[in-house]
């Protein structure tokens, strides 16, 4: 999976291929499907953090619910171990959300409520409050993204690259 695919997964509560399934169900149908984080995801040094970092699911029981033709809801527990592969130091974070993703033409609007994790690159924080680039954990609050760019951030944010440095 490429970096854009991985980022889609993380931004949508680490739900696999969520954006690909939006619009698949008729407006009257409510479809619930399990979502799997998959194998550990490793990012080389300099891509997310100054060091190589690996994300591993410790608990993964997410469900994607199609609410409308354009909106899905991701719920359920997801606990990740985030490891600095150079030092072996790691932290565990509950990133269970929930999250909603609404497809709006060429882009999407993602709303992350509660504990969440996002990867942001330079220029992807329109608010200036999160501090991109980095790997960010938000224990509570709200993050709203248009595509991959944060457009609203409310609540405390921890830069896991700094935590694990």
Q: Which pLDDT score is estimated for 29?
A: 61
pLDDT at 140 over 60: yes
4-15 pLDDT, tens per residue? 433 444 443 433
Q: Which pLDDT score is estimated for 31?
A: 82
Beta strands of 88-138 (E only): which ranges?
A: 90-94, 99-104, 107-113, 116-120, 134-138
Task: Please report the DSSP string for 11-80 in residue order.
Answer: HTTT-TTHHHHTT-S-TT--EEEEE---S-EEE-TTTSSSS-EEEEEEEE-EEEEE-SSSEEEEES-EEE
124's tokens:
């992807």
Q: Which of 108, 133, 136, 109 minimizes the C-alpha distance to 123?
A: 133
Q: Which pLDDT score is estimated for 28?
A: 55
Q: Which pLDDT score is estimated for 4?
A: 41
Q: How many CB atoms lie within 10 A of CB 12?
A: 28
Residue 38 near residue 53, CB atoms below 8 Å: no
Residue 56 near residue 80, CB atoms below 8 Å: yes
Q: Which of 54, 32, 41 minimizes the C-alpha distance to 14?
A: 41
SS (H, E, C) 113-125: ECCEEEEECCCCE
Report domain extents, the chain.
3-164
Mean pLDDT of 86-98: 97
Residue with the two structure tokens 């970096």? 3
> What rounded mean pLDDT belongs to the chain?
84
pTM: 0.80
Cis before 35 (ω within 30): no
27-84 pLDDT, tens per residue? 456 788 999 889 999 999 998 999 999 999 999 999 999 998 899 999 999 999 999 9
DSSP 139: S
pLDDT at 25 over 80: no
């Amino acid at each position: 999976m490429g970096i854009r695919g991985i980022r889609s997964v993380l931004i949508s509560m680490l739900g696999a291929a969520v954006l690909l399934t939006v619009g698949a169900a008729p407006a009257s149908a409510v479809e619930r499907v399990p979502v799997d984080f998959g194998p550990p995801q490793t990012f080389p040094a300099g891509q997310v953090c100054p060091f190589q970092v690996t994300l591993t699911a410790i608990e993964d029981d997410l469900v994607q619910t199609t609410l409308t033709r354009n909106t899905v809801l991701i719920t359920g527990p997801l606990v990740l171990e985030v490891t600095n592969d150079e030092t072996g130091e790691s932290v565990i974070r509950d990133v269970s959300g929930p999250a909603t993703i609404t497809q709006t033409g060429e882009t999407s609007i993602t709303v992350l409520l509660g504990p969440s994790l996002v990867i942001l690159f330079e220029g992807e924080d329109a608010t200036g409050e999160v501090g991109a680039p980095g790997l960010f954990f938000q224990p509570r609050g709200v993050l709203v993204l248009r595509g991959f760019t944060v457009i609203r951030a409310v609540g405390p944010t921890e830069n896991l690259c700094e935590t694990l440095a």
